[in-house]
Structure 1
Amino acid sequence: MTTTSAKLLKLALPLIETHGFTREALSLSALSLPTPLVHPLPDASVTALFGAGDDACRTLVHAWLDDAKCRMRKEATESVGMGDVLKARLRSNEPVLKHLPEAFALLASSSSLPLPLLPVDPAPIVKHAAEVSNQACWIVHRNARESSWYTRRASISAIYLAAELHQLTSSKTAPAFLDSLLENADHAEKALDETALFASYVWKSWRGIVKSSGVLV
Structure 2
Amino acid sequence: MTTTSAKLLKLALPLIKNHGFTRETLSLSALSLPTPLANPLPDASVTALFGPGDDACRTLVHAWLDDARRRMKEEAIEKMGMGDVLKARLKSNEPVLEHLPEAFALLASSPLLPLPLLPVDPAPIIRHAAQVSNQACWIAHSDSSWYTRRATISAIYLAAELHQLTSPKTAPEFLDSLLENAEHAGKALDETALFASYVWKSWRGIVRSSGVLV
Q: CA deviation at 1:119?
A: 1.8
Q: Residue type of the partner of 2:33?
A: L
Q: Is the 8 A contact 1:165 1:205 kept in 2?
A: no
Q: Is the 8 A contact 2:69 2:132 kept in 1?
A: yes
1:188 corresponds in structure 2 to 184
SS in 2 for 1:96: helix
TM-score under structure 2 length normalisation: 0.88
2:176 equivalent to 1:179: yes
> What do residues 40-74 of structure 1 show as CA deviations (whole Å, max 9, x unaligned)?
00000000000000000000000000000011112
Counterparts of 1:161 and 1:45, CA distance in 2: 35
1:165 corresponds in structure 2 to 162
1:137 corresponds in structure 2 to 137
1:200 corresponds in structure 2 to 193
Q: Is the 8 A contact 1:104 1:210 kept in 2?
A: no
Distance 1:82 1:67, change over 3 A: same
2:202 corresponds in structure 1 to 210
Counterparts of 2:91 and 2:79, CA distance in 1: 15
Q: CA deviation at 1:80?
A: 2.0
Counterparts of 2:124 and 2:46, CA distance in 1: 23
Q: CA deviation at 1:213?
A: 4.1
Distance 1:97 1:198, change over 3 A: closer
SS in 2 for 1:36: coil
Larger deviation, residues 38-47 vs 115-124: 115-124
Counterparts of 1:205 and 1:72, CA distance in 2: 28
Considering only aligned residues, what root-mean-square deviation do their CA atoms show, in Å? 2.4
Number of corresponding residues: 208
2:47 equivalent to 1:83: no
Counterparts of 2:118 and 2:21, CA distance in 1: 18
- What is the identity percentage for the equivalent residue pairs of Structure 1 and Structure 2? 75
Structure 1 segment 66-105 matched on structure 2, within 5 A: 66-105=66-105
Gaps of 5+ in 2: none
1:154 corresponds in structure 2 to 151
Q: Is the 8 A contact 1:79 1:85 kept in 2?
A: no
Q: Is the 8 A contact 1:23 1:46 kept in 2?
A: yes
1:56 corresponds in structure 2 to 56
Q: Residue type of the partner of 1:10?
A: K
Q: CA deviation at 1:214?
A: 2.8
Counterparts of 2:116 and 2:34, CA distance in 1: 37
Q: Is the 8 A contact 2:137 2:150 kept in 1?
A: yes
1:20 corresponds in structure 2 to 20
Q: CA deviation at 1:83?
A: 0.6
Gaps of 5+ in 1: none
SS in 2 for 1:35: coil
Q: Is the 8 A contact 2:12 2:29 kept in 1?
A: yes
Counterparts of 1:166 and 1:189, CA distance in 2: 14
